[in-house]
Amino acid sequence: MTQHVRFRHHQFFASFFAGLVMLTLLVASPIPAHAQARRPGPKPAAGKPASKTLCVDVATFRQGKPARGLIVYGSAVTKGADQTLLMAVEREQLRTDNPTLFERAAKSEREQAISAWGELETRLLVELKSDELELPLKALYEQELARATAALADLRDRPDAPLDSRFMWLSFTAKECSQLQRAAPEAQRVAVWAWSERLSQVTTRDRADLEAELVAANIDTQLKPPDLSKELPPRRQTDQQWASRLAVVRYTLQGGLDFQGSAGAFFRVGAGQAGQGVDVAPLLEKMMSGQLNTLLKELDPTAQRPNGPAADQWFQPMVSEVETLGRREFRATRLDPDPTGQAASVETAFIAKLPEKGWQIVWQFRETRRTSDVAAEAQQQISQDSQVQAALGLLSALGAGAEAEVKKAVRFGAATMSAQKAADRAFFEFRDRYAQRLDGPPF
Residue at 397 is within a domain: yes
Clarify whether residues 254 and 380 are in a common domain: yes
Q: Are residues 251 and 173 in the same domain?
A: no
Same domain, yes or no: 83 and 9 = no
Both 281 and 158 in one domain: the answer is no
| 174 & 97 share domain | yes
- Residues 269 and 370 occupy one common structural domain: yes
Same domain, 22 and 63: no
On whether residue 130 sits in a domain, the answer given is yes
Q: Which domain holds residue 393?
A: 2-26+241-300+309-434
Is 113 inside a domain boundary?
yes
Pairwise CA distance, residues 244 & 430, whole Å: 12
pLDDT in the model for residue 393:
59
For residue 404, the model assigns a pLDDT of: 65
Domains: count for the chain: 2
| Residue 45 in domain | no
Whether residue 65 sits in one domain with residue 115: yes
429 in the same domain as 359:
yes
Q: What is the pLDDT of residues 246-304, one digit of tens each?
A: 999 999 999 899 999 887 789 898 644 333 333 333 333 444 344 444 444 444 445 45
pLDDT at 321: 95
Measured CA to CA, the distance from residue 260 to residue 272 in angstroms comes to 14
Closest CA to 205 of 219, 216, 190: 190
Residues 247 and 360 in one domain: yes
Same domain, 255 and 392: yes
Is position 69 within any domain?
yes
pLDDT at 378: 61
Q: What's phi and psi for 277, nearest 5 deg?
A: -80, 170
Residues of the chain with pLDDT under 70: 1-51, 74-82, 270-311, 339, 376-406
Where a domain ends, among 134, 160, 182?
Answer: 182
Q: Are residues 20 and 103 in the same domain?
A: no
Residue 382 has a pLDDT of 63
Residue 147 domain-assigned?
yes
Is residue 419 within 8 A of residue 45, CB to CB? The reply is no
Residue 203 forms part of a structural domain: no
Residue 107 pLDDT: 86
Please report whether residue 207 resides in a domain: no
pTM, two decimals, is 0.74
Which phi-psi region, left, alpha or beta, contains residue 424 (left: φ > 0; alpha: ψ -120 to 50)? Answer: alpha
